[in-house]
Amino acid sequence: MYRTYDGIAAIALEGAPGHLLDLVSIAGLEQDLRTADADSEVTGILIEGGPEMFCGGLDLASIRSPEDSVELAAALADLLRVMPRLSKPVAASAEGDALASGASLLCCTDYAACRSGISIGTVEAGKGIWPMVAQVPLLHRVGARAAMENLASGIPFPAERARELGLVNIVTDDPRAAAVAWLRAASRGGEAARRGRPLAYHLADLDYDRALDTALTHFSSMFRKDHTT
């Protein structure tokens, strides 16, 4: 479900029990994200799930053939590529567990607030499967050493451990309020932040010297534009 209020585009994960992701729900979520990003009245994007489950991952029951599994994984990968390229700040409010690809979705947000007592992480290894796509945002967010604690065991992180590692920013009784408050603060960057957000994720993937050179180029470009308009 997509709705806007006071500059916030709230996207509620819906669908199968556990808010599992199939081709239809992934396409809908990607479209909602793009719609919010293109809306000049929107200053921040909030992704939220239900009280029992933020997102339980891919809907494996929807897979009928090997081709279906590849198509579903490719759709997930495309969604995970889109999120760092958005120009608006993105926050997650997790009232319930974020598991498997649900954890990777949460990892792709800029700010994540969750309730105490929930679990966050992949579960595939415990079922004899490796989370090939879902592992990527987790590895980028916390590094291989910390990520492997979950990836190899299939045991999700408790909320407090997820906070220690930086998977979530805050553990609170009201994650939605915390996420919205952060989005309000993040909206103050205006046009500069809209250019800076996707660049920040690009710089994080570069080596140190290349990141500085790229940042300098973008700074110079921004400075010239801001002083000629």
* 102 and 197 assigned to the same domain: no
Whether residue 229 has pLDDT greater than 50 = no
* 181 and 194 assigned to the same domain: no
Share of the chain above pLDDT 90, in %: 79
Q: What is the DSSP string of 127-168?
A: GT---TTTHHHHHHHH-HHHHHHHHTT--PEEHHHHHHHTS-
Rounded to an integer, what distance in angstroms lies between the CA atom of residue 88 and that of residue 183? 9
Rounded to an integer, what distance in angstroms lies between the CA atom of residue 11 and that of residue 19? 12
Q: In the structure, what pLDDT confidence band is assigned to residue 225 with cuts at 50, 70 and 90? A: low
| C-alpha dihedral, 132 to 137 to 140 to 145, nearest 10° | -60
* 180 and 201 assigned to the same domain: no
* 89 and 174 assigned to the same domain: yes
* 135 and 194 assigned to the same domain: no
Which amino acid belongs to residue 19?
A: H
* 212 and 181 assigned to the same domain: no
pLDDT at 224: 64
End-to-end CA distance of the chain: 39
pLDDT at 51: 84
* 67 and 179 assigned to the same domain: yes
* 29 and 117 assigned to the same domain: yes
- pLDDT tens track for 78-137: 999 999 999 999 999 999 999 999 999 999 999 999 999 999 999 999 999 999 999 999
Q: How many domains does the chain have?
A: 2
The residue segments making up the domain with residue 213 are: 190-226
* 147 and 200 assigned to the same domain: no
* 218 and 171 assigned to the same domain: no
Q: In the structure, what pLDDT confidence band is assigned to residue 61 with cuts at 50, 70 and 90? A: confident
- pLDDT tens track for 71-80: 999 999 999 9
Whether residue 148 has pLDDT greater than 60 = yes
Tell me which of 154, 170, 186 is where a domain ends: 186
* 96 and 132 assigned to the same domain: yes
pLDDT at 89: 97
* 44 and 72 assigned to the same domain: yes
Whether residue 227 has pLDDT greater than 50 = no
- pLDDT tens track for 155-200: 999 999 999 999 999 999 999 999 999 999 999 988 888 889 999 9
